[in-house]
Chains A and B, each alone.
Chain A
């Protein structure tokens, strides 16, 4: 145990934290009934991916750090996604007067 602690923070430790964050995000995405919380869970998952990219860029690709450039692009796309997602949520709330995910069955057959 102390041997493992002495090697921290290693690449594996960062990857484990990211894996936990991603799985929490997936659970929240499936189980949230509030549409805003679904968007929050998506942001958690994107952050987990970013932690992975940054850890690999620092430990495996230390001289070129392409992972950091990818992380910057992921942050950009996440910002665009949050803006459009919340706009869709607002117009949906205007029409249905609820944020309950179970009531959003407009596209169901």
Chain B
């Protein structure tokens, strides 16, 4: 074993441990703010796994999009809706958790069996290594051009959809007449409409 492979092995084991233990913390911790920060750690460790696979571009995209955008968005959402509420007790909660844990363990056993028993066609063709970024650019502008353009339309639609869903459209003045809008309507728009259904 050379020192390079040993270093790679140690990096892989540490990153895998961070991914799995961090994911368990995300799911199991009771404080959701800790969960959100651990989620950032998991995303960073996954980016490290990508670096081990010689994929520097995707690792940087992972850091930028997941840690820089999605994780921050989740933290903002937590701060906007963070209210200590006493959750209503559910009957048989422990049983439900145990049964779903059993189902997930079964799924894991199935996946592990598939991974171990399938004869993968290894080793594949020689890896391109550091040329990966240029190769991704070639793919995006030749044979994956249509999905690339559709992705831009998807992002635009998601942006408009998020704005439409999250904004509170109460106008201070009437658009047509220019007069001050009915204050009662504004007050009514600020009260939750569906509260009574919850009882």
Task: List A residues at the B interface (Cβ < 8 Å).
Answer: 5-6, 8-9, 11-17, 19-28, 30-34, 36-37, 39-41, 43-44, 47, 50-51, 54-55, 57-66, 68-69, 71-73, 75-84, 86-91, 93-100, 102-103, 106
| Known A27-B27, A96-B195, A106-B197: A17·B16 in contact at CB below 8 Å | yes
Known: A36-B77, A65-B132, A75-B66. 18 other contacts (CB 8 A): A5-B9, A6-B1, A12-B116, A19-B111, A21-B19, A21-B20, A23-B104, A24-B27, A27-B104, A36-B81, A47-B46, A54-B58, A57-B53, A58-B54, A65-B128, A68-B55, A72-B57, A86-B162
CB-CB under 8 A from A95, the residues of chain B are: 192-194
The reply to whether B96 and A83 form a contact with Cβ atoms under 8 Å apart is: no
Report the separation of the CA atoms of residues A87 and B76 in the bound assembly, to the nearest whole angstrom.
11
| Known A28-B27, A40-B35, A44-B26: A75·B65 in contact at CB below 8 Å | yes
Report the separation of the CA atoms of residues A69 and B142 in the bound assembly, to the nearest whole angstrom.
12
CB-CB under 8 A from B85, the residues of chain A are: 98-100
B188 sits at the interface (CB 8 A): no
Report the separation of the CA atoms of residues A32 and B66 in the bound assembly, to the nearest whole angstrom.
21
CB-CB under 8 A from B13, the residues of chain A are: 8
The reply to whether A97 and B162 form a contact with Cβ atoms under 8 Å apart is: no
Report the separation of the CA atoms of residues A30 and B122 in the bound assembly, to the nearest whole angstrom.
36
CB-CB under 8 A from B123, the residues of chain A are: 59
Bin the interface of chain B by size: 35 or more
What DSSP secondary structure best describes chain B's contact surface? Answer: helix
CB-CB under 8 A from B172, the residues of chain A are: none
CB-CB under 8 A from B195, the residues of chain A are: 96-97
Task: List B residues at the A interface (Cβ < 8 Å).
Answer: 1, 8-9, 12-13, 16, 19-20, 23-24, 26-27, 32, 35-36, 39, 42-43, 46, 49-50, 52-55, 57-58, 61-62, 65-66, 69-70, 73-74, 76-78, 80-81, 83, 85, 87-88, 90, 96-97, 100-101, 104-105, 107-108, 111-112, 115-116, 120-128, 132, 135-136, 139-140, 144, 147, 151, 154-155, 157-159, 161-163, 165-166, 168, 192-195, 197-198
The reply to whether A47 and B140 form a contact with Cβ atoms under 8 Å apart is: no
CB-CB under 8 A from B96, the residues of chain A are: 31
Report the separation of the CA atoms of residues A55 and B53 in the bound assembly, to the nearest whole angstrom.
7
Report the separation of the CA atoms of residues A91 and B161 in the bound assembly, to the nearest whole angstrom.
12
Separation in Å of the A58 CB from the closest CB of chain B? Answer: 4
The reply to whether B111 and A22 form a contact with Cβ atoms under 8 Å apart is: yes
